[in-house]
């Protein structure tokens, strides 16, 4: 048995960031990970052919680059191997009529593209970009603060002093609005609306769901203003740097070991028991980077002692599932809309708000969508080091999908387990891409397909293929993430804490929950 000040269950990037900060503060920390490698959903592996490096889940590291953790430790992370690949041509959408719209860091270029659809929308875009620094100050303050009365009061006070009552209410309205409401109030062109609305689909916000407007707003404005970053060589550059930094600070990382139980005594967490039977003691904290259902359903066999908390953890709502398709290619897709699309990190295939709403409705009803929303990542357009010379990698995220299949909206695939229909549905996805980029199949050298079930097998936190580890709808966000009264990474068990995407401030690569918890535990 070993004794630690803090033990971490799971080695996702939030756990690693939290453990690293504590280790640098003098804590003795141990991180225990079931899988052979750390990183959770942030991994890069050769899924198809040797030399082709594919990001398992997260590809965009912009949130980490802009995070408070990176701001504090940028030099140390760089010393330990962190390397970014900046992106100037960030995201685009292409439409069935052959037109396209993309957001690049060159404001005049982006505005000119928007003006081709609507000159009024181009003017609106410039106005929003000009106002973004002032708006971002308050939004990022909120998203980067603990969900405490003091922090919320401070953010609200600063917002009111800067913008007045009317301005503060406008910000609150943005936080509550649906993507459709905000987009239709600000933009005339259906194509402009669709291009921005796709970012809501990344985070479980179909066009008509309240609370979703802020994500298309923030992503589009941040990409225009700052650009995007990928990890050079793969998203796992972030994980390797965190691992190296943790070990250099004296922390210990154990991989390939499964935690079977969190040990408790006298109402507090005291350590862990591994599946092997081995135990380890924690004198100050146990931090679980797991999905809420796994905490009370597995790691605390007798529950937390608080029936209401346990019920909330079991009822924690997950977003619809995702399929990932990784392709090794001879060359980038020949987009029918034009070669310029080959420069973009992301190309969305989501033609309208109505199409996105339909896909979400079908998936939540248990149906395989007839025409899913596709996020086509082209990382080698930005970072050629991910593939052999002259070759390319394609990262295809299929949103949204049911975890369990009740039927097929297209009436072509009989209901069955994902293992039986995975490849056939992947064929539907490739057919769809072919309509926008003819000849794609002829370029494929190798492919790997992960259904929603496969994603959960790889990472139990991705319940039902939910890549964001929990819906971000208003009833399960802010003060309610993961449950009312437990938004500060606390649990009813003394010294037992939760971290990760299921907790505030939610999904993404920003290490927000890990760093905020670390500062709370360490006192700074």
Is it the case that residue 236 has pLDDT exceeding 90?
yes
Domain regions of the chain by residue span = 2-45+61-84+234-316+461-522, 106-226
What residue ranges in 27-81 does DSSP mark as E strands? 29-33, 44-45, 54-55
Is residue 3 within 8 A of residue 279, CB to CB? The reply is no
* DSSP structure class, residue 487: T
pLDDT confidence of residue 457: 97
pLDDT confidence of residue 2: 86
Is it the case that residue 162 has pLDDT exceeding 90?
no
Cα–Cα distance for residue pair 391/326, rounded to 1 Å = 14
Band the pLDDT of 256: cuts 50, 70, 90. Answer: very high
Domain 2-45+61-84+234-316+461-522, classified CATH 3.50.50.60, yes or no? yes
Band the pLDDT of 153: cuts 50, 70, 90. Answer: confident
Q: Shortest CA distance to 308 belongs to which of 469, 148, 483? A: 483
Is residue 521 within 8 A of residue 7, CB to CB? The reply is no
Q: Shortest CA distance to 101 belongs to which of 336, 345, 348? A: 348
pLDDT confidence of residue 167: 85
Band the pLDDT of 154: cuts 50, 70, 90. Answer: confident
Q: What percent of the chain has pLDDT over 90?
A: 95
Mean predicted confidence (pLDDT) in 385-412:
98
Is it the case that residue 1 has pLDDT exceeding 80?
no
**Paired residues of 89 in beta bridges:** 104
Is it the case that residue 160 has pLDDT exceeding 90?
no
Is it the case that residue 10 has pLDDT exceeding 80?
yes
Band the pLDDT of 149: cuts 50, 70, 90. Answer: confident
Q: Shortest CA distance to 505 belongs to which of 11, 21, 42, 143? A: 143
Is residue 236 within 8 A of residue 54, CB to CB? The reply is no
Q: Shortest CA distance to 237 belongs to which of 380, 46, 394, 84? A: 84
Q: Shortest CA distance to 508 belongs to which of 38, 18, 42, 21? A: 42
Cα–Cα distance for residue pair 462/291, rounded to 1 Å = 8
pLDDT confidence of residue 88: 98
* DSSP structure class, residue 30: E
**Paired residues of 3 in beta bridges:** 281
Cβ-count burial of 115 within 10 angstroms (0-12 exposed, 13-18 middle, 19+ buried)?
middle
- Chain centroid, CA 524 distance in Å: 26
Work out the mean pLDDT of the chain and round it to a whole number: 97
Is it the case that residue 447 has pLDDT exceeding 80?
yes
Band the pLDDT of 297: cuts 50, 70, 90. Answer: confident
pLDDT in tens, 165-178: 998 899 999 999 99
pLDDT in tens, 126-136: 999 999 999 99
Mean predicted confidence (pLDDT) in 88-115:
98
pLDDT confidence of residue 248: 98
Residue 479: partners with Cβ closer than 8 Å, 6 or more residues away: 147, 487
Q: φ and ψ at 328, to 5 degrees?
A: -100, 125
Cα–Cα distance for residue pair 382/90, rounded to 1 Å = 10
pLDDT confidence of residue 14: 98
Is it the case that residue 32 has pLDDT exceeding 80?
yes
Report in angstroms the alpha-carbon separations of 373 from 84, 349, 385, 421: 28, 6, 28, 18
Cβ-count burial of 330 within 10 angstroms (0-12 exposed, 13-18 middle, 19+ buried)?
exposed
pLDDT in tens, 193-234: 999 999 999 999 999 999 999 999 999 999 999 999 999 999
Band the pLDDT of 186: cuts 50, 70, 90. Answer: very high
Is residue 351 within 8 A of residue 96, CB to CB? The reply is yes
Cα–Cα distance for residue pair 455/59, rounded to 1 Å = 15
Is it the case that residue 418 has pLDDT exceeding 90?
yes
| Angle made by CA atoms 46, 50, 55, in degrees to the nearest 5 | 20
pLDDT confidence of residue 158: 86
Q: What is the sign of the dihedral through the CA atoms of 411, 355, 177 and 505?
A: positive
Q: Shortest CA distance to 310 belongs to which of 477, 504, 486, 463? A: 486
Is it the case that residue 237 has pLDDT exceeding 90?
yes
Q: What's this model's pTM, rounded to 2 decimal places?
A: 0.97
Q: Shortest CA distance to 218 belongs to which of 135, 121, 103, 300? A: 135
Mean predicted confidence (pLDDT) in 111-122:
98
Q: Which residue has the higher pLDDT, 158 or 318?
A: 318
Q: Shortest CA distance to 290 belongs to which of 96, 10, 37? A: 10
């Amino acid at each position: 048995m070993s004794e630690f000040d803090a033990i971490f269950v799971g080695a996702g990037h939030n756990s690693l960031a939290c453990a690293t900060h504590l280790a640098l503060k003098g804590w003795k920390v141990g991180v225990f990970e079931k899988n052979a490698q750390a990183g959770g959903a942030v991994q890069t592996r050769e899924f198809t052919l040797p030399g082709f490096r594919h990001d398992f889940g997260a590809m965009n590291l912009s949130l980490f680059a802009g995070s408070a953790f990176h701001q504090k430790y940028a030099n140390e992370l760089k010393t330990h191997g962190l390397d970014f690949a900046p992106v100037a041509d960030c995201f685009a959408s292409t439409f069935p009529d052959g037109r396209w719209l993309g957001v690049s860091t060159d404001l005049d270029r982006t505005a000119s593209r928007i003006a081709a659809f609507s000159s009024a929308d181009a003017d609106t875009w410039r106005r929003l970009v000009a106002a973004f620094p002032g708006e971002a100050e308050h939004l990022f303050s909120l998203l980067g603060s603990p969900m405490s009365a003091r922090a919320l009061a401070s953010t609200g006070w600063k917002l009111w002093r800067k913008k007045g009552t009317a301005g503060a209410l406008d910000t609150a309205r943005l936080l509550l609005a649906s993507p459709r409401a905000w987009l239709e109030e600000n933009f005339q062109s259906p194509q402009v609306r669709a291009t921005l609305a796709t970012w809501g689909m990344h985070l479980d916000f179909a066009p008509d769901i309240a609370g979703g407007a802020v994500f298309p707003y923030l992503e589009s404005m941040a990409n225009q203003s700052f650009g995007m970053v990928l990890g050079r060589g793969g998203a796992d550059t972030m994980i390797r740097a965190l691992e190296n930094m943790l070990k250099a600070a004296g922390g210990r990382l154990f991989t390939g070991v499964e935690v079977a139980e969190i040990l408790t005594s006298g109402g507090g967490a005291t350590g862990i028991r591994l599946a092997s039977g081995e135990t380890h003691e924690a004198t100050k904290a146990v931090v679980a980077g797991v999905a809420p259902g796994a905490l009370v359903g597995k790691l605390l066999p007798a529950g937390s002692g608080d029936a209401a908390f346990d019920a909330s953890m079991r009822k924690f709502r997950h977003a619809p599932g995702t399929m990932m398709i990784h392709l090794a290619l001879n060359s980038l897709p020949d987009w029918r809309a034009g070669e310029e699309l080959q420069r973009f990190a992301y190309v969305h295939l989501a033609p309208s708000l109505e199409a996105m709403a339909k896909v979400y409705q079908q998936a939540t009803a248990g149906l395989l969508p007839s025409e899913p929303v596709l996020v086509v990542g082209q990382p080698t357009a930005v970072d050629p080091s991910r593939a052999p010379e002259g070759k390319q990698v394609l990262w295809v995220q299929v949103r949204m999908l049911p975890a369990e299949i009740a039927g097929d909206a297209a009436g072509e695939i009989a209901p069955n387990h994902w293992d039986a229909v995975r490849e056939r549905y992947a064929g539907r996805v490739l057919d769809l891409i072919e309509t926008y980029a003819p000849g794609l199949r002829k370029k494929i050298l190798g492919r790997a397909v992960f259904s929603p079930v496969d994603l959960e097998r790889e990472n139990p936190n991705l319940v039902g293929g939910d890549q964001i580890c929990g819906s971000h709808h208003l009833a399960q966000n802010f003060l309610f993430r993961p449950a009312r009264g437990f938004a500060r990474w606390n649990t009813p068990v003394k010294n037992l804490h939760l971290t990760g995407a299921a907790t505030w401030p939610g999904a993404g690569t920003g290490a927000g929950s890990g760093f905020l918890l670390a500062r709370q535990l360490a006192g700074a």
